[in-house]
Structures are given as C-alpha cells and as structure tokens.
C-alpha cells in the first residue's frame, strides 16, 4: 500500500463549522495544485495520497470530504471503486470524483449509493467550487429539505457561480443557465405536417409519445441556433436531456451517460449535476447494463414519459387547430 500523510486539517465554512478534506491522486503535481487552489480560496486542507491508498481499504478514516482523481479505469479499479462507493455511503462522507469523458461511463457505473459529485475534465476553478458546494450542503441548509422550486433555483445559482469562477480561471467553458423551454412550445413543424398528424392519430387513453422523427427535428432546430447565436444564450440542459431521452424512448434505444451529457449541450460536469437532480426528482431513472457492468443507461421515468407525451399532444394540436 502506498504511504501517505493522512492527517486531516479542519476546514471552516462561513458559518464557522468544520469538515475534514482529503485529496487522492496518482499525479503528485495535481495533488499539490488542488491543495494550493483550496488554500488560495480560503480553505485549509491536509494531504491525502495515491489512489491505491484510498481504494485498497487500508485508510481507516475517510474524512468528511474526499476528492478522488480518477481519469482512467480498468477492471480492477472498477471493482475497487464499487467497494469505495459502499464504504463512502456507509460512512456518510461526501465524495468528489474527477474523471475524463472517456472514462465517464465506467466510473459512473461504479457509484450508485454514495451519490458523488462527478467532475469531467474539470478546471481548477470547478474543483474549488465543488468543495464549496459540498461544504455548503453539509454544514448549511439541507438541500433535500428545500422545495422543488428552491432546489432548481439553487442549482441554477450554482451554475452561475461556476461560470464566474471559470472566467477568473480564464477558461472558455462556462455554465450560465438561462431557461428557454417556453420558447419551444411554438416550434416550426415545417412542411412535414403528416408527422404531427401521425403523432396525434396514434393517441389513446394513455397518450403515446410522438413520432421520434418529430422530436429529432426539434433537437436539430435547437442545435441550429448555435450557428447564429452564442450557445450559452440558449443553454437549457434539462429540456435538452428530456428531448433526447424522449426520442430514444420512442426509438426503443438506450442512452449512455456520456451520450446524454453530449446531448445536453453543456459541459459534462454541468450535465451530470442536472442528471442527478432530475433523477432525484423522479424524472429520470438509472438502468444498469446487464451485459456490460461498465455502463449505465439513463431513461425517462414512467411519469416523465407520460408528461412528455401529453406535452407533445398539446403543442402539436395547437398549430393543427389553427390551420383548420
């Protein structure tokens, strides 16, 4: 087992409460960088060590917040990550996992109990913000006790904080969220009105989903806006996620976590926060791949399928009624 200094320093938040933070990475320069950045942001952090020291179970005290750098995984490390997931969940510690887009699917599949924050190709600023967000949740108001409206508002606020932090870090990735879902209620059906007719013609008491080609057209139209406007102006990951999963559901295809992050139109770290939020609120469900334990699929819940079907039935009916 790798040797490391496991003495944790107390980290104080704005309320004067404390948490213990540790950092584990096989890249020494990154451990030093994270420590320097956290200290520069006003945190105090003790040293951690190499990833093996955390994964092999030899560490008796996890600390309140654990930062794990895991850019690549293999079968052995996946098994260790799954054990860590159970251990963190039992201990009540808060986990931040920093990984790459290439490793996102297998890493995501390992964590189904501890609900970690997963950062993808994270910037230095994003790591600092992630620690601050966790400490706020641990030592401040409990997010789960907030109303649904307040939770979404808090999530949008943290995205704005991320955007400001990224600017200070001189990065191009920003996560300012401006909801545009209402604009899609009047989408252009174009010349292919028979798609809408087929969608409505198949309606029954349970209201089926629309023709997936109709949904894919809307997605293409939304993406087309980026040719003429700043993509950030129309960023609405929750709606983009729902549209992509609606089309996939109607096509009887499965969507991996990494694919859904791409479809969201925002950085993967931001998309993962929205996926987590939407899963917690019952819109999305996590489904393990029975043939490949390295992958997890995301699907619409039954309630979300019904809501999207009724939404499309209403918005497709309106232009057809006007034409009549």
pLDDT per position as a tens digit, 139-171: 444 444 445 554 555 455 555 555 545 544 444
**DSSP-based three-state secondary structure for 18:** strand
Instruction: Over range 23-45, report the average pLDDT.
Output: 82
- Nearest alpha-carbon partner for 122 in 63, 244, 37: 37
**Listed ranges 84-93, 187-196, 273-282; the one with the highest mean pLDDT:** 273-282
How far apart are the C-alpha atoms of 320 and 196, rounded to whole Å? 8
Percent above pLDDT 70 for the chain: 65
User: Between 229 and 10, where is the model more confident?
Assistant: 229
Confidence of residue 234 (pLDDT cuts 50, 70, 90): confident
Question: Does the pLDDT at position 190 exceed 80?
Answer: no
Instruction: Over range 41-48, report the average pLDDT.
Output: 68
Joined tokens for residue 152: 């979404």
Q: Which sign, positive or negative, has the C-alpha torsion 53, 110, 119, 92?
A: negative
pLDDT digits (tens, 9 = 90+) for 201-230: 444 447 788 888 999 998 998 888 888 887
Joined tokens for residue 105: 């699917």
- Residue 310 has phi, psi (to 5 degrees) of -70, -35
Joined tokens for residue 318: 């309106």
Question: Does the pLDDT at position 76 exceed 60?
Answer: yes
Mean pLDDT of the chain: 74
Q: Which sign, positive or negative, has the C-alpha torsion 179, 182, 185, 190?
A: negative
How far apart are the C-alpha atoms of 294 and 237, rounded to whole Å? 25
User: Between 15 and 287, where is the model more confident?
Assistant: 287
Question: Does the pLDDT at position 47 exceed 90?
Answer: no
CA angle 176, 32, 57 (to 5 degrees): 95
Kindly report the pTM of this predicted structure: 0.71
Per-residue pLDDT at 286? 94
What is the 3 state secondary structure string of 211-250? Answer: CHHHHHHHHHHHHHHHHCCCHHHHCCHHHHHHHHHHHHHH
- Whether 237 contacts 264, CB under 8 Å: yes
How far apart are the C-alpha atoms of 64 and 22, rounded to whole Å? 8
Confidence of residue 261 (pLDDT cuts 50, 70, 90): very high
pLDDT digits (tens, 9 = 90+) for 86-101: 988 888 888 999 999 9
Per-residue pLDDT at 136? 64
- Residue 177 has phi, psi (to 5 degrees) of -105, 120
Instruction: Characterize 53-81 residue by residue with b for buried, 16 or more Cβ atoms within 10 angstroms of its Cβ, and e for exposed.
Output: bbbeeebeebbbbbbbbbbebeeebbebb
Residue 139, CB half-sphere, CA atoms under 13 Å: how many?
A: 19
How far apart are the C-alpha atoms of 195 and 207, rounded to whole Å? 16
Do the bridges between strand 18-24 and strand 65-69 make them parallel or antiparallel, or are there none, so unpaired?
A: parallel
């Amino acid at each position: 087992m790798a040797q490391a200094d496991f003495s944790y320093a107390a980290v104080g938040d704005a309320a004067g409460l404390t948490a213990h933070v540790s950092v584990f990475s096989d890249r020494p320069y990154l451990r030093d960088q994270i420590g320097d950045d956290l200290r520069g942001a006003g945190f105090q952090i003790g040293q951690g060590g190499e990833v093996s020291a955390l994964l092999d179970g030899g560490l008796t005290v996890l600390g309140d917040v654990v930062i794990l750098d895991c850019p690549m995984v293999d079968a052995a490390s996946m098994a260790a990550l799954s054990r860590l997931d159970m251990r963190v969940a039992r201990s009540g510690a808060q986990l931040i996992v920093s990984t790459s887009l290439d490793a996102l699917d297998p890493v995501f599949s390992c964590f189904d109990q501890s609900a970690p924050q997963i950062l993808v190709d994270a910037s230095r600023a994003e790591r600092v913000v992630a620690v601050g967000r966790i400490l706020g949740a641990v030592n401040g108001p409990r997010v789960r006790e907030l109303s649904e409206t307040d939770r979404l508002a808090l999530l949008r606020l943290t995205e704005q904080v991320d955007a400001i932090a990224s600017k200070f870090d001189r990065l191009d990735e920003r996560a300012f969220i401006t909801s545009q879902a209402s604009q899609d209620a009047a989408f252009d059906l174009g010349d292919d009105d028979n798609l809408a007719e087929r969608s409505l013609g198949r309606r029954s008491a349970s209201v089926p989903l629309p023709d997936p080609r109709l949904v894919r057209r809307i997605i293409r139209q939304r993406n087309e806006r980026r040719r003429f406007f700043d993509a950030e102006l129309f960023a609405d990951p929750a709606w983009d996620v729902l549209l992509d999963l609606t089309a996939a559901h109607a096509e009887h295809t499965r969507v991996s976590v990494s694919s859904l992050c791409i479809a969201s139109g925002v950085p993967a770290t931001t998309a993962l926060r929205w996926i987590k939020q939407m899963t917690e609120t019952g819109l999305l469900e996590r489904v393990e791949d029975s043939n490949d334990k390295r992958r997890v699929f995301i699907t619409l819940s039954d309630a979300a399928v019904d809501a999207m079907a009724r939404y499309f039935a209403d918005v497709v009916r309106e232009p057809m009624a006007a034409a009549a």
